[in-house]
Structure 1
Amino acid sequence: MTYYRSKLTASVYALISISFWGVSFVSTKAVVGKLDPYSLLVLRFGIGALFLLLLLLLQRTPLKVSFQYIPHLIILGILGVFVHQLLQATALLTINASSAGWLISLSPIFTVILSILFLHEKMTITKAAGMVLAIMGVLLVTTTRGGQSFQFALNIGFFLMILSTLNWAVYSVLLKSLKTPYSPLLVTFYMSLLGLVLTTPFIIRHKGWESLSLLTHTEWAHLLFLGVFVSGIAYWYWAKALEVLEASKVSMFLYLEPVSTLIAAVLLLQEKVLFISVAGGIIIIIGVIVVNGQLVPMLFSLFKKKHQ
């Protein structure tokens, strides 16, 4: 029972991360009109790093790390924070959010392949079936959110977005395989700090600070959400999920990102919701449950309670 409880807790961490990342598209859309994408990244990493530092200080966690693990943190920070966010920010300049949402579904596929090759994880019929279900659900959700998911122009944004999904798969596998004796919170803090250092030249180049006075209270709220919850908590919880679950199983939660984006768009942007989108979201959820092996235990638990 403890085994299933730890898996369920890890699944909740991954679900929270994906929920925040899904809503981030809406918050980014609300702020990007006033700030350029690269200055927005700098502020996100800065707010995220400060928030994580406060958590570490409250927990009285030592900030010192051994020299032998510094290369690990640098690699994770460059791939998971700097390169990933820079690729997506650049890609979104030439492709729409619907196209980006569909392309995100490639990341779990890359992660499964890399996990089999380097982490010796096994591909089962259950995993394959759940993945197919999730992909079908993503297609239903994304193709009804703009109708341009398959109308890609041969531009650099298309290839950069695919590269970002491959990069995220590599990051997730490395985060799982690079064993460090430090907590996910401390690792995430140094990743955010490195992201801040590497992206600072962008805000200097674009003079992004000049636009800060133009932000309204609502836009500042979106910016704080992006920093604290998206760049801080989401990355932290993703690392906590990878402590327990296989990288291929955690990556399957990425299929839920379009669902989170859809819900946020309906609630915050008053976008219309279609029945086919709801059906797609349900299919995605079933696929993720199947891949993570939670379906049978959940059904057994419900059956047991019903007959007690």
Structure 2
Amino acid sequence: MLLWALIVGLSFPAVGLMSEGLPPLLLTAMRFTIASLALWPLVRRAPAFRPSRQGLVLYVLMGLCTAGFFGAMFWAAHRATALSMSTLYVSVPLLAYGLGRLFGVERRAGGLLAILALGAGGALALAWAGKAGQAGGLQLGAGETAFFLGCLGSALYPVLTKWGLARGWLPDGAGVRTFWSLVVGAVLVGLMGLAAEAPRALAAMTVSDILLVAYLGVFSSGVTYWLMQRGTGALTPGAVTAYTYLVPFVSVVLVVVGEPERMGWQWVPGSLMVVLAIALLLRRPVDPPATPAAPRRCAASS
């Protein structure tokens, strides 16, 4: 999950390098397709590769979650700063914890909730530091609103995964789960893109745009969702998504490296809070998830 946080943190500036005017939904479908093709040789002979009927329904819902998040990410790329987007992303752990409680896959854990609050406070402090000296302070614009809705879908993704694993509707292999959710997501978001956007706009893509989409497809989509699936198999949704608190910290490091003149004391409190939250999370014993009892039927159904 530490590697996951690093890749996600690097993806926000990468998205901002894309040319303006490109269709975000179709770009997202391209990302998912590239990620699926990269995973195909690794999972096609895996046990329980073919999904059950119940599993297919869950994959559709999970595909919608990923499609919503990445579609919002592309759309907001030129309407919100990379630091603002990565900071909004810190709402995901608290949302995942609450949704996990609602679905019965997250136990009541005051210690975890305190860690989530500490990390969220640190991320917000980094946001204030990033906005220092700018008129208007933190504002909620159209880009930020759309991206927050995408974050809601991102929070629901591990909850649905944990819920499906508990009921035996999803296989144990993280690669298989990642592959099918991305395939379904590519189909769904591609259909939405064809209906709402102009495919001919893709002709404006430059070589650098194509390389960026390929990078984001393999790493920011394929690898990160495989890592999250691996983590979700062992941790609760709230604990898994808590590592998103490192994402704005990565963005801050990039800002400081690229613009060292911006380095100052205002970055220290938030950075320390985020690092402390992750350290406490790593030292915290893994609690068994509160999973509803259900027969494991995935292998038989497949």
Structure-2-length-normalised TM-score: 0.79
Give the superposition deviation at 1:264: 3.8
Deviations 1:26-48 (A, max 9, x none): 11112234744334322211211
Rounded to whole Å, the distance in 1 between the matches of 2:122 and 2:52 is 44
What corresponds to 1:76 in structure 2?
A: 62
Give the superposition deviation at 1:151: 2.8
RMSD: 2.6
CA contact (8 A) 1:20 1:229 kept: yes
Rounded to whole Å, the distance in 2 between the matches of 1:42 and 1:181 is 24
Give the superposition deviation at 1:92: 4.1
Letter in 2 for 1:23: L
What corresponds to 1:209 in structure 2?
A: 202
Deviations 1:143-163 (A, max 9, x none): 22344695314x443432332
- SS of 2:17's equivalent in the other structure is helix
What corresponds to 1:122 in structure 2?
A: 108
What corresponds to 1:271 in structure 2?
A: 259
Structure 1's unaligned 5+ residue stretches are 1-13, 296-308
Letter in 1 for 2:189: T
Rounded to whole Å, the distance in 1 between the matches of 2:268 and 2:27 is 32
- SS of 1:31's equivalent in the other structure is coil
CA contact (8 A) 2:4 2:227 kept: yes
4+ long deviations beyond 6 Å = none
CA contact (8 A) 2:28 2:67 kept: no
Matches within 5 A, 1:1-308: 14-33=1-20, 35-57=22-44, 60-61=45-46, 63-79=49-65, 81-117=66-102, 118-124=104-110, 126-147=111-132, 150-153=137-140, 155-179=141-165, 180-201=170-191, 202=193, 205-212=198-205, 214-216=206-208, 219-267=209-257, 270-272=258-260, 274-275=263-264, 276-294=266-284
Rounded to whole Å, the distance in 1 between the matches of 2:148 and 2:182 is 23
Letter in 2 for 1:211: A
Percent identity reads 22
Letter in 2 for 1:127: L
Distance of aligned partners of 1:133 and 1:69 in 2 relative to their CA distance in 1, 3 Å threshold: closer
- SS of 1:144's equivalent in the other structure is helix
Rounded to whole Å, the distance in 2 between the matches of 1:258 and 1:229 is 18
Structure-1-length-normalised TM-score: 0.78
Rounded to whole Å, the distance in 2 between the matches of 1:187 and 1:221 is 26
- SS of 2:259's equivalent in the other structure is coil
CA contact (8 A) 1:131 1:291 kept: no
Distance of aligned partners of 1:223 and 1:34 in 2 relative to their CA distance in 1, 3 Å threshold: farther
| Mean CA deviation greater in 230-239 or 252-261 | 252-261
